[in-house]
Structure formats: structure tokens, C-alpha cells
Chains A and B, each alone.
Chain A
Amino acid sequence: MVSLTIERLSKRFGGVQALRGVDLSIESGEVFSIVGPSGSGKTTLLRCIAGLETPEQGAIVVGETPVFDSRKGINVPPEKRDMGFVPQTWALWPHMRVRDNIAFGLKIKRVDEGEINRRIREVSEVLGISDLLDRWPWQLSGGQQQRVAVARALVLEPKIILLDEPLSNLDAALREEARIWLRDLMKRLKITSLYVTHDLSEALAISDRLAVIIDGEIKKVGSPREIYENMDNPDVAQLFRFNVVEGKITGVDGNRVAVEIGDGSAICRSSSPDKTTQGSRAYIIFSPEKVKIGSGGISGVVKSSIYLGSSYEHIIDIGAGKPIKARSRTPLTTERIKLDIEECIATPA
């Protein structure tokens, strides 16, 4: 169980800057997620940590040991970094039975036969795959393959386990079950885990802390609650399906500001009070749940509504550029409505 520190990591592919000076520090035993849209650089970051890609600049330190440092010319090959890896496709070697898949890394480390068998028995009991050991990978279901892939990484008792969207090939119901199972497992084994995903709800559910990466830059780091309740970055907000509209600040009172939106206004908390001054422009960030429909000072026109099961989601034009998303328990009966924004964050534009 070790910590993982990443300093100013940069990686370029041809003309594309995949990582732009990434800094991260992951505590030991933590389940840490990297979330981002496709092409954001999250998988590149994981591959750099594994040693499968070589960054141009920066450092990667596992515990106290640097495994990569561009200035000192350190670049430990992947096989010497003592990590476990669960790739997106699970990549179970098709020419080996489940048992041999799991034993592979131990055999390379020349662990003796008895110990190998003991560890395979142990890990397969923990993962509930004891009866699959003599099967071939193609004889397994998706969920079973995923468990074997996790077992193959865990059996090595690695310092850090890297998981690259390991649940994306499971169907929806199984996926929700698997994320709870996986989080319990990581916490129980107290293993430092780096989890890459594009699925926001998965990241919120599984991690102790998470980092949001967009265009090769870390935009936000924190616990799921800190991030969700402190949404002050417009790019991150859009990724999390928050509303982001632009407006003019019409009044300031400490860290609270009044902002003009459409034909009305809203009172928001300012993310940086020294910059959100009277008359300046700001991004107003708020979640669809915080829009109160029915009464209020802002008028809007309902463009469309869809039924989500527990609520309705509406797309409403309030004359502030992009239409906003809002939710209600009951269907709306009229097209022209009044609404209020209950909670919002203003951040300088």
C-alpha cells in the first residue's frame, strides 16, 4: 500500500498534446478515479503511470521511489513497476486457462509452485471464481471475465492497481452491481487504486476522490461531494450535465452576487469574490434539480420534455443563449412558464 505522486506530466502524440503538465497526488489505500470525456487524455495518463507510454516531461513517484523522472532520466520499464492492470477489454490471454492467466505474473516472478497455488486459491475465493479455474477464457461470461482480470492483477499483490474502464463492457444492470463489489474489494484489501472512466456516475459511486481531466489538463480534484456541490468550473459543469449560462453581475454582497439571467435574476455564491465585481460578466452554474418551476422572476418557453421515470426533464429557453435543463415531478401543462434558480455558483467569465 503506497501513495502515487504525479508531477507536471506532459505527453504529446504527433501534433496533439495529450497531457499538459498534470499534477496529482493519490494517497495510499485510496480509490482514485480519473474522469473525462473521450480523448481527454485519461487513458494516456494511466498508460504513462503503467510505463506503457513514455511522457516527455514530469515525474511519477510510487511511494518514495520514482519510476519516471524526465530530468533524472529515470524510466523504469512496466514490468519493474510492481503494478496490477485491468484493461478495458480485460485481455484474458486466449491461449491460457483461467488458472494460467492468473498464475502468469507469479511464474515470471519465480514464486514457488505451492505459494502460487495458495495465492490463486485465496484470490479466487475472494473473487468467487474458484470453480472457473480450469476453464478457457472464451467459456466465461462477461462478468466472469472481468472478475478473472481483476484476480490476475490482485494475485500479484501489486503496490497499485490500474483499472481502465473495467466495467464498460458489462451490461447496465451488471455494471451497477460490479461497481459496488469492486469498491468494497479495493477498500477491504486496502489497495491503492487508480480507476479511469468516462462514466460520471460510476466515478462518483466508486471513488474516495476523483480528478476531472479535460483536454489533457486536470480541471478539478476532490471527493465526489466536494466536486458535485462545488461546481465552479464551466467545462467540468458541462461534463456533469450542469447548466452553464452567461450573465451580468448586477449586485454584490460579500461572497453572494446577484446575476441577470434572461428577463430575471438569480442570487448565486461567487467562486472568487474579488473577480466577480459589479457589472462584470460571469458564468452561472447550476444543476437541473435546482431549477424551481412554477413561480419566480425568470420566464421561459418549454422546448421539449422527456419522461425519465422518476421525473421529467425539460429543455427550457430563457433567452440566455443556450437553453437550460430543468426537472419536475409532474408534467408541465403550459408552454410558457415562470421559474427560479434556487442555488447557483457564479464564476468569472
Chain B
Amino acid sequence: MNENPLYAGFKPSLQSYIDVIRDSEFRVSLINSIVIALLTLLSIPMGLALAIVIHKVEIPGAKYIEPMIIIPMFISPIIWGFAWLYMYGPSGFLPRLWGDIYGVVPVGLISAIIHVPHAYVILSTALLSIDSSFEEVARIHGAGPLRTIFSILIPMMKPSIVFSAVILFVLGLEQFGVPLVLAAPIGDNVLTTYIYQLVTLGVEIPYSYIAVVASIIIYTALTLLIIQRYLVLKLAKRYVTVTGRIRGFTKIRVSRPVALALLSGVLVYIVFFIALPLAAVVARSLSPLYGSGYQVTLSFYETIATSAPLRTAVVNTVLVAVIAASISIPIYLGYALTILKSRSRIESGIVDVASTLPRAMPGLVVGLAFLWLYLFTPLRPLLYSLLGLAVAYVILWSIFGIRVILTNMIQISSELEEVARVHGASQSTVLTRITIPLLRRAILVTWLIIFIYGIREYSVPVFLSTKNPVIGSTIVLLIGSGELGIIAGLATISVAITLAATVIIFKLGWKPYGAIG
């Protein structure tokens, strides 16, 4: 890769933009990305239905079902891409009753399915904040349960539906993992896979060209997110009743057959869209053969254990996740404290805007940005190091982590700290004896979330871990190598670590509501 100083002989010019727009392959990639983004919106009706069934209807076992709906969020799209390939692909475990799994439309549909948890979380947050008295009035005034759902609940959730639509569109637009597995191999590029190709294959491609493609994604996403903010603010004024305070929350009582029917609907979703694809990954990692004549073997795991680069990737993944999670805590804590104590509008405004930026950038572009940052600034020692990757993670997910701590901090009544002050504790004593002990759970949850994200991440390390590979970047590199068993083995290890951490988070009573927002 060319490592010339990026800004040598800097002259502002729009030439690169013109070149990019004239490039027909760019235009096709853009259209493909938009198609995938639009199809991703299908996750909203699914997420909405799940949110209503789980939170508003009395069905047995809802408590246990919810974590299963949310878990897919913590597994990387590239693993999902392979999971669907192993399950429903040309040589997958299920008989072929449908068309090809390769192509833009299947990628869009899978993108919708793997983003259902995101829609579910955003819409659940809204649903849970609607006081039950609104529905109760409707019920008492003669509306049946269905009528109440469609004429009261769903209309009241309109701001959140708009909100989730923009987020999901952007997530679809920036989708990298699934198209890399299921569209790029047959020549259908999307914006992110196009950038990936330019960087990895293009010998003669100038940085400026890549930067322009990346910027176009960022501009589009940022514009959408700004429009979203405006719309949500405007709508929220009209829907002032949707507050964050839950005063009463009742569930709709349905007859036993209806409850069981709804429950089986949810279970079919979990089995076919979550459990079976993941099971296929595990099965594939244990079998050298396709379809018939299934034999269990640990040979892929033996390969992973004995091959130095693969073993290092597994160890590195855990190390980076632990480093990122551990350095994130003091940083996020300090940042949250500053925001809270300053109570300044300008600062919270900056945080608000800053929270939009990371979401507007695909992980691949973030990785590229940090690569260039480390290459061309005094931060060079961080280049390709585990710490450098961890730093990128900590910055990238800072808003998310800070929010978890901040929401918990806000819930701590300031009186708890004030009494301590008046009764003789200095500011630092209050921090160590009152504030931090009260935040213990939030700190643990934040650590685990950053850890899980660190295990999951595959796009940021693509360019940043060239010399210190992690599982995610290794899987990306192995695409096209035909090493499907090794990929399945690495994916299984990643999923296993994620699931273990997720179990702890749920045991801690963590709820994802408000987490994406």
C-alpha cells in the first residue's frame, strides 16, 4: 500500500468527486446499497410486531424470549452472512425450496432480518414509555384490543417509527458483512464492498478517490440523520404524551389459544431466523463434508489451535476486547461526569451532534480513517497495534458507552450526593464512596457491552489489524479462500464468547431500551 504523506501538495479541487460520479461501478454500487437499505426497512414491521407481542400481550415465557430476540444484535453481520449461507445456501443444510441466496435482494432481506433486534429495541423503548392510561381509556370507551393497538398504540409510536426507519436505512446503506459474503462474490458490489475492493485490489487508485466514495456515504447518512433529528423533534412536540416516565403499564389479556398462536409465531421466527442459522455455523465447524454423510470432526478447531496466525487472531480478539473495555470505563466515566456537572447546553448540544457522527460512518471507513491517522501523524506507534485498535473502538463506541453511564448517573438523585457533601464528604469522597458504588452495575454492563462489541467487530480491524489480526478481520480475509470450515470454527468461537458475556449482562438485569437512540 502506498504510504506517501496524504496531504503533500494539497490543492482543493472537486476533480475526485467528478471522477467518482462518472464511475459506472460506483453508481451501480450506490443503487445496490439503496436497494439493500430499503429492504432493511422491513425489519420495522417485524420489530414492531415482536415489541407489541412481548410487551403488550400476556404470553407465557415472554421474559425468556426477549433475550433471544435481542442477542442477534451482538453477533457480527459477517457471521450472519455465513450462517445464512451454511443454512439456506446452495450447499446448505436445508433442502432448497427457494431461489438463490446470492444477490442484492437476498442480502437486503437478510439485512432486514438481522436488524430486527435494532427495530425491536427502539420501538420497545417507545412502547414502554406510553402510559397505559391511554389504552385504558380507549378500552373503556369501547375499542377492542386490536383496535386499541392499531388506533392508539401504533399511532402514538409514530415518532419512534420514523426514528427507527432512518437508523435502519443508514445501517442498511452501510451494510458490509452480508454483501461481502453474499453479493460481492457474484460481482454485485455495494458502497462498502466497493471501497474494500478499491483499497485491497486497486494498485493505482489514489487515496482521494477512496476518500470521496467514503465521504459520499457519510454525507448521505449524516443528511438523513439530521433530517431524522428534525422530524423527531417536530413530531415529539405533538406527541408530548409519550414521556419517559412509566406510571402504569398493563398487558392485554388474550385467550389461551390466541396467546399460544402468538407465542408459536415468535418461536418460528426465533428458530428459523436465529437458532437454525447459528446451529448451521456450529455444525459446519464440526463437519468437513456438505449435506449427506455428516461426520463430526474437531479438525478445524485443531487447525485453529495449531496455526499460529489463526490462534493469534483468537487471542488478539479477546485481548483487544478486554483492553478496549478496560480503558473505556475511566474515560466514559470522566466524560459523563463532566457533561452532568457542567449542565451546559452547548456541551450537551455537542454531545448530541457527536453522537450522530459515529453512526453516520461505516466501520470500514472508521478503520480507514484511523489507519490514515496513525500513518501520517505522531500517533504512528499505534499503527497495527492492539492498543491502536482498542483506541479506535473506545472512540467509536464512546457515545454508546457514555449514554449507558449517563442514564444511570441521571437516575442517581443528586440529593444522595448532596447529603454526603453536607455531612462532611469532599467532592472526591462523594465520587468514590457514593457515586461510583451506585454506578457499579452500570460500569460492569458498560464494560461487558464494549467487550462484546470488541469481540463482534469485523469492519474496523480490516485495515487496522494487518499485523495483529483478530477473528473479524481474519474471516474477511478468508472469504474467497474456500476455507469455510475454518471460518465456521472462528465464527463459533466468537459467538460462544459473545453468548457467555451476553448471559452475564442479562443476569445483571440489563435492558437494552433507550440504548440505541
Contacts and interface: CB of A to CB of B under 8 A. Distances in A.
Interface in B21-60: none
B415 A51 contact: no
A162 interface: yes
A79 interface: yes
B413 interface: yes
B425 interface: yes
Contacts of A78: 418, 421-422
A78 B419 CA distance: 9
A50 interface: yes
B420 interface: yes
B419 A91 contact: yes
A345 interface: no
A266 to B, nearest CB: 48
Nearest to B420: A104
B38 to A, nearest CB: 46
A14 to B, nearest CB: 10
A95 B437 contact: yes
A89 interface: yes
B422 A85 contact: yes
A89 B415 contact: yes
Interface in B407-435: 413, 415-416, 418-427, 429, 433-434
Interface string A100-143: 00001100110000000000000000000000000000000000
Contacts of A88: 415
Given A78-B418, A85-B418, A89-B413, A156 B437 contact: no
A156 B423 contact: yes
A79 B426 contact: yes
Contacts of B419: 85, 87, 91, 152
Nearest to A88: B415
A156 B418 contact: no
B438 interface: yes
Contacts of B434: 93
Interface residues of B, number: 19
A52 interface: yes
A79 B424 contact: yes
Interface string A44-70: 000000111000000000000000000
A108 B427 CA distance: 12
Contacts of A89: 413, 415
A95 B438 contact: yes
Interface string B431-447: 00110011010000000
Given A94-B438, A95-B438, A108-B429, A51 B413 contact: no
Contact of A109 (B415, B424, B437, B440): B424
Given A94-B438, A95-B437, A108-B429, A79 B415 contact: no
A223 to B, nearest CB: 28
Nearest to B416: A91
Contacts of B416: 91, 93-94
Contacts of A94: 416, 438
A84 interface: yes
A263 to B, nearest CB: 48
A104 B416 CA distance: 12
A156 B426 contact: no
A94 B413 CA distance: 11
Contact of B423 (A52, A77, A104): A104
A115 to B, nearest CB: 15
A105 B419 CA distance: 9
B341 to A, nearest CB: 13
Which among B419, B421, B437, B440 has the highest number of chain A CB atoms within 10 Å?
B419
A94 B416 CA distance: 9
Contacts of A162: 422
Interface string A137-169: 000000000000000110010000010000000
Which among B422, B426, B440 has the highest number of chain A CB atoms within 10 Å?
B422
Given A95-B437, A95-B438, A108-B429, A152 B415 contact: no
A79 B424 CA distance: 4
Contacts of A152: 419, 423
Contact of A81 (B415, B422, B429): B422
A291 interface: no
Interface in A262-303: none
Contact of B422 (A83, A93, A95, A109): A83
A52 B424 contact: no
Interface in B468-501: none
A79 B418 contact: no
A91 B429 contact: no
Contacts of B438: 93-95
A153 B423 CA distance: 7
Contacts of B420: 93, 104-105
A241 B500 CA distance: 64
A87 B421 contact: no
Given A79-B426, A95-B437, A52 B421 contact: yes
Contact of A156 (B424, B427, B429): B424
Contact of B421 (A51, A93, A109, A156): A51
Contacts of A104: 420, 423, 425, 433
Nearest to A91: B415
A306 to B, nearest CB: 28
Given A89-B413, A91-B413, A93-B434, A105 B424 contact: yes
A52 B413 CA distance: 14
B422 to A, nearest CB: 4
A11 to B, nearest CB: 16
29 contacts: A50-B418, A51-B421, A52-B418, A52-B421, A78-B421, A79-B423, A79-B424, A79-B429, A80-B424, A84-B422, A85-B418, A88-B415, A89-B415, A91-B413, A91-B415, A91-B416, A91-B419, A93-B416, A93-B434, A94-B416, A95-B437, A95-B440, A104-B420, A104-B423, A104-B425, A105-B420, A105-B424, A108-B429, A109-B424
Interface of A: 50-52, 77-81, 83-85, 87-89, 91, 93-95, 104-105, 108-109, 152-153, 156, 162
